[in-house]
Amino acid sequence: MLSARPSAQRRQAVASESMWRFLASPAPVSLGEGNTPLLPVTPSIFLKDEGRNTGAGMLDRIASILVTIAKASGQKHITFSSDSDALAASLAVYAANAGLPCSITFSAEASDFDHIRATAAGATLLTPSPHTPVEATLSAEDIALATHLATHTIACEIAEQLQWKLPETLLIPGATPADLLHFEQSFDFLLQHNWTTSTRAPRCLAVHIAPASHTRSHAPARIAAQALQQLSDHVMVLEEDRVREALQRMAQTGWMLSPGAAAGFATAETLPANAAPIVLLEPRSALSAAHEIAQLLGIRRYPTRMPVGGIISPL
């Protein structure tokens, strides 16, 4: 049973408070997640920087709620297996903070960043097997509800940071149809409870990247992105080349974005003037996506380094 729910009472912001000021829970497991800054990138585009969370991403919010669920329900051990390596790593960290042993599985594509976080937190790493699937202690219903509540806190913070007004457009990199629905429901909550002076909810758009067409290994991801766009006018799909250009251009002006946020920024530039103000959700820190950024931009760490004993010999 979930021990957290949306709070119907609007509270004043306090800089040291976490996202839990927007939820009602007697004993949250928190590392100060939430209250991430809303930064002006241009006069009409604001970046909601979820990379400022303890674990460098918005999934820390979900992990905080899930571990709160587990602890409140009396669970003595957390076992988690899903296709989200970043969520698994965050769960390992929050479980350690709550004093709960944690066992997780990672996919073969798990990043070094997530692997290091989970291992340093003391999690047990399980090897998935089709013959002996891992039995998770967190249900799909728990995860869906935690995702909805985490989305609610982001929506509340955006309204608060815009002086209780809502943006015209919210861009969410990598969002699923369920994610879009969660955000729409959260903004409707703010309107229904008179938390905002706005009269309508923002248009919520998912932003996805279509991998290069010549890369066979990424063909399924490209097909999935294009299928999403055909199903809904709330899904924007950008070609990888456009994302690369936006990523490099933003880096040269001092903004190091994750690939998803770079895709969102490129999308924001194509929207009409009446779509502003636009809030772009940065789902994770660029540092946590360093390997992907390096691959996308074709950057190697030592492009001109020569081996010892080359042209300039020790002799």
Domains of the chain: total: 2
Task: Say whether both 262 and 173 belong to one domain.
Answer: yes
In 10 A of CB 121, how many CB atoms?
Answer: 19
In a shared domain, residues 127 and 249? no
- CB under 8 Å to 156, separation ≥6 — which residues? 22, 186, 190, 195
- Same domain membership, residue 48 and residue 187: yes
Q: At 36, give phi and psi (nearest 5°).
A: -75, 150
Highest mean pLDDT among 7-11, 12-16, 133-137, 155-159: 155-159
Q: Are residues 169 and 233 in the same domain?
A: yes
- Say yes or no: 48 and 109 in one domain: no
What confidence tens digit (pLDDT) does each residue in 207-222 have?
A: 999 987 655 555 555 5
**Do 279 and 268 touch, CB atoms closer than 8 A?**
no
Residue 58 domain flag: no
For residues 249 and 170, state if they share a domain: yes
* 239 alpha-carbon distance from chain centroid: 21
* Cβ atoms of residues 228 and 206 within 8 Å: yes
| 314 within domain boundaries | no
The answer to the question of residue 89 being in a domain is yes
Q: For tokens 């587990």, what's the residue?
A: 70
Q: Is residue 305 a part of any domain in this protein?
A: no
Instruction: Categorize the per-residue pLDDT at 232 as very low, low, confident or very high, splitting at 50, 70 and 90.
Output: low
Phi then psi dihedrals of residue 112, to 5 deg? -60, -40
CATH number of the domain that residue 97 is part of: 3.40.50.1100
Q: What is the pLDDT of residue 1?
A: 39
Q: Does pLDDT of 7 surpass 80?
A: no
* Secondary structure of residue 9 in the 3-state scheme: coil
Could you tell me if 175 and 129 lie in one domain? no
Contacts of 2 (CB under 8 A, 6+ apart): 65, 69, 72, 142, 145, 146, 149
Statement to judge: residues 209 and 292 lie in one domain: yes
Mean pLDDT, rounded, of the chain: 87
Q: Residue 59 falls within a domain, yes or no?
A: no
218 and 188, same domain (yes or no): yes
Residue 120 maps to a domain:
yes
The 10s digit of each residue's pLDDT in 75-127 is 999 999 878 999 999 999 999 999 999 999 998 889 999 999 999 999 999 88
CA-CA distance, 79 to 23, in Å (whole number)?
25
* Shared domain check, 112 and 203: no
Q: Taking a C-beta distance cutoff of 8 angstroms, is the pair 58, 50 a contact?
A: yes
Reported pTM: 0.87
Domain for residue 164, yes or no?
yes
- Whether the per-residue pLDDT at 148 is higher than 90: the answer is yes
Q: Quick one: average pLDDT of 173-196?
A: 96
For β-strands 278-282 and 45-49, DSSP reports them as: parallel
Does the pLDDT value for residue 11 go beyond 80? Answer: no
Residue 314's pLDDT band (cuts 50, 70, 90): very low
Rounded to whole angstroms, how far apart are CA atoms 152 and 101? Answer: 28
Whether 194 and 287 map to the same domain: the answer is yes
What is the rounded distance in angstroms from the CA atom of residue 106 to the CA atom of residue 269? 36
Answer yes or no: is 186 within a domain.
yes
Q: Which of 55-59, 78-82, 156-160 has the lowest mean pLDDT?
A: 78-82
The amino acid at residue 134 is: V
Instruction: Give the three-state DSSP class for 241.
Output: helix
Q: What is the structure's pLDDT at 231?
A: 56
Q: Which residues pair with 280 in a beta bridge?
A: 47, 171
Span 259-266, average pLDDT: 98
Mark whether 158 and 116 lie in a shared domain: no
**Of 25-39, 161-175, 249-263, minimum mean pLDDT range:** 25-39
Q: Among 136, 162, 187, give the residue marking a domain's end.
A: 136
Range of the domain at 83: 76-136
